[in-house]
Amino acid sequence: MNNTGTLHLKVKDFTGDQAGNCELLIRVSTGKLSYAIVNTQEKNLKVLFDCALFHSSLQEVFLNLPAKYEYLNAGFSKIKVASETFHFTFVPEEIYSQETLPVLKNFISSSASVRFITNGLDESGIRSIASVENELVAPVLSKYPQAELFSQAEPFIKSVLPLTKNTKTLAVQFNSGTFELLLAIEGRLIYYNIFSAATTDDFNYFLLMACRQFDLKSHETEILLSGEIEKYSENYRRILKYFNRIAFADGSKLFAHPEAFSLVPAHQFFPLLSLGVCG
């Protein structure tokens, strides 16, 4: 830890000269900024940064980072940014085109100052269309105008679906003040949504709502957890009330974690590292 609420870990031998073989993965929300640098040839993690914003804005925090960490000024092979948003929709690829996009945007509730993004979900045959607040992504895009932009949904869906080829899985991803639910059956996306949850009771309500809507039974449903969740937490105990086949997503299977990251729970930064499977 460097400061209260800030984590910065780096392998000793990493320098900006190695950036050409690396991707910079950035995830932003109103309450948190996280980034990772991953070597896509060696498939391992080089840098991990996580900062709770508290009373600082994303712009205040982010614009000071390149001066503090010189490697952020290097030439990365790709830069990918995931922005948290509640404004999105999914449509079949066969009805999506540049001509239909203006009509499809009408299904997304948003404010005036937004940026629309659209990304395919590969084998699922689904196209994601989302709007993200300009205020949230502008500090990052001003530094990295070439960055590829995603909502939080695409990396979660694309990283989890391959893990569900032979199962019925409810994946739950916990963020700062929000959580995501994804239901997949044998590799096929059935349901995805993101919810605000200020309390454990809020989370419990939405979890039970999903259980009723999809008739989820403990003996036939596997639970996959990622993000800000631990076994000693109240949210975990609530899940344990209804399900017994519970596992944590392993971010080290996306990118190997060298010794410098040995104390980081492998599921905690799965949401961030999932960006590596996009694009």
Q: How confident is the model at residue 5 (pLDDT cuts 50, 70, 90)?
A: confident
Which pLDDT score, from 0 to 100, does residue 260 have?
94
Q: Which pLDDT band holds residue 147 (cuts at 50, 70, 90)? A: very high
User: 210 lies in which domain range?
Assistant: 157-251
DSSP annotation of 212 reads: H
User: What residue has token string 């893990």?
Assistant: 163
**What are 237-255's pLDDT values in tens digits?**
999 999 999 999 999 999 9
204 in a structural domain: yes
**Whole-angstrom distance between the N-terminal and C-terminal Cα of the chain?**
31
Q: Burial level of 142, CB count in 10 A (0-12/13-18/19+)?
A: exposed
Q: Over 90: is that where the pLDDT of 55 sits?
A: no
Cα gap 142→109, rounded to integer Å: 25
Residue at 82 is within a domain: no
Determine, yes or no, domain membership for 276: no
- The pLDDT assigned to 237 comes to 97
Residue 123: inside a domain? no
Angle among Cα 248, 81, 10 to the nearest 5 degrees reads 65
In degrees, rounded to 5, the angle at the alpha carbon of residue 267 between the alpha carbons of residues 262 and 271 is 120
- Does 121 reside within a domain? no
Number of separate domains in the chain: 1
Give yes or no for residue 122 having a pLDDT over 50. yes
Q: Say what the pLDDT of residue 186 is.
A: 93
The average pLDDT across 41-50 equals: 96
For 236, the token pair is 């975990």
Task: Assign residue 242 the CATH number of its domain.
Answer: 3.30.420.260
d(CA 202, CA 207): 9
pLDDT in the model for residue 54: 76
The token pair that represents 153 in the structure block: 């949904």
Residue 110 included in any domain: no
**Beta-carbon count within 10 A of 117 CB:** 20
List, for residues 152-187, the tens digit of each pLDDT value: 999 999 999 999 999 999 999 999 999 999 999 999
Domain-located, residue 195 = yes
What integer pLDDT is reported at residue 3 of this predicted model?
41
pLDDT at 159: 95
- 217: tokens are 């039974």
Does residue 231 belong to any structural domain of this protein? yes
